[in-house]
Structure 1
Amino acid sequence: MRKLVLIMMMCLAALSSYSCAQSDEPVTQVSGKKILVAYFSWGGTTKRLAEEIASLTGGDLFSIETVTPYPTDYTPCTEVAKEELEKGIRPPLKDVVKNMDDYDIVFVGCPVWWHTAPMAIWSFLESKEYNLKGKIIVPFCTYAATYRDETLAKIVELTPDSEHLKGFGSTGSTSGAKGWLKEIGIIK
């Protein structure tokens, strides 16, 4: 079934490539699909990567923000993040995507906190506001040294009824994003 969907998306992309090539808009392989790039960022690194993904795909940006902001100093922030993880706290979010049903592909990104996705991501993906069933979820993350794979896997785990494309992790540079988006068939 996945192969059939991929073949159909490739055929649609081929049929629309002539008209897309005449435009300054990003040329996606999944023409006709609406893309959302949702991200949580504390220090700005994940935000820069999310903005690059949105720029390359033509997707809409959505910043995942908690009602109570995390401390701006590193150590107090890590203490709050660790407590949330250990206690399973899903922090309330400031806003929701009002038109989630309009999106076919949802990129979900975050930094690696305590070896996994921050609890704000859990709040976002577990929200009763959204039906992510059947949507294509594409995880991405930023990290200092390690636990990239565990963080990408957590985003997949939190969206069991969705389809998933290969995720991407970066230590801060956005330079690999374009190659990754080509590899997973989102852009040409």
Structure 2
Amino acid sequence: MKKKLIVYYSYTGNTKMIVDILKDNLDVDIVRLETIKPYSGSYDDVVEQGKKETDSRYMPEIKEIGIDLKDYDEILLGSPVWWYTFAPAVRTFLSKYDLSGKKIVPFITNGGWIGSTVDDIKSLANNSQVKNAINIKFNGSDMETSMSEINAWIDKL
């Protein structure tokens, strides 16, 4: 039986908070996406840089993930929403790795509107099934989505 894999990017720690909940409830391996050149400066500086990067569909170089994706048939893909889509590091992952035949389960953290994040994942995750996405809302670092909602989603996995 193939295992589940969590692949995620987290800048402020909100998406990592969800990864910690998942690892306590599921038998999963975990890969954190890391950019070669970390974001720096104030939060506002990074927000402005993120807007430019998402607008231009920029793909920052990411560190190797260090695992063989062939060992997994289901990938839980975590990303914060950056300007109504996924973080640029996730774009790099989706473009760089072959996810054909995989089931992709997005968990999206955001402070407002999810935008086109799930549709954008579907458009880049060619030949894979994207389903059971969950939108997890935060107000700053306070999670607004209830644990009962998250647990109900986990039970479906």
Task: Identify the TM-score tier after normalising by the shorter chain.
Answer: 0.7 to 0.9
1:178 counterpart residue number: 151
Q: Aligned partner of 1:171: which letter? A: K
1:122 counterpart residue number: 91
User: CA shift at 1:149, angstroms?
Assistant: 5.3
1:7 counterpart residue number: none
Structure 2, unpaired ranges of 5+: none
Q: Deviations over 1:102-121 (max 9, x none)?
A: 01100111111111111111
Under a length normalisation based on structure 1, what TM-score does the superposition of the two structures give? 0.74
Matched, 1:103 2:72: yes
Q: Which moved more, 1:171-180 or 1:59-68?
A: 171-180
Q: Which moved more, 1:36-45 or 1:75-84?
A: 75-84
Partner-residue secondary structure (3-state), 2:86 = coil
Q: Aligned partner of 2:121: which letter? A: I
Q: Deviations over 1:120-172 (max 9, x none)?
A: 11001110xx32110110011111011x2521222222112101222001113
The within-5 A match list for 1:1-188 is 32-71=1-40, 73-127=42-96, 130-146=97-113, 148=114, 150-172=116-138, 173=143, 175=147, 176-182=149-155, 184=156, 186=157
Aligned partners of 2:84 and 2:115 also within 8 Å? no
Q: Aligned partner of 2:89: which letter? A: A
Superposition CA RMSD, Å: 1.6
Q: Distance in 2 between matches of 1:46 and 1:154?
A: 18
Identity over aligned residues, as a percent?
30
Q: Distance in 2 between matches of 1:53 and 1:119?
A: 23
User: CA shift at 1:72, angstroms?
Assistant: 5.1
User: CA shift at 1:47, angstroms?
Assistant: 0.5
Q: Aligned partner of 1:33: which letter? A: K
1:9 counterpart residue number: none
Q: Aligned partner of 2:107: which letter? A: F
Q: Distance in 2 between matches of 1:157 and 1:100?
A: 19
Structure 1, unpaired ranges of 5+: 1-31
Under a length normalisation based on structure 2, what TM-score does the superposition of the two structures give? 0.88
User: CA shift at 1:53, angstroms?
Assistant: 1.7
Q: Which of the two has greater strand per residue?
A: 2
How many residue pairs end up in the alignment? 150
Partner-residue secondary structure (3-state), 1:126 = helix
Q: Distance in 2 between matches of 1:159 and 1:98?
A: 18
Of structures 1 and 2, the larger Rg is shown by 1
Q: Distance in 2 between matches of 1:92 and 1:107?
A: 21
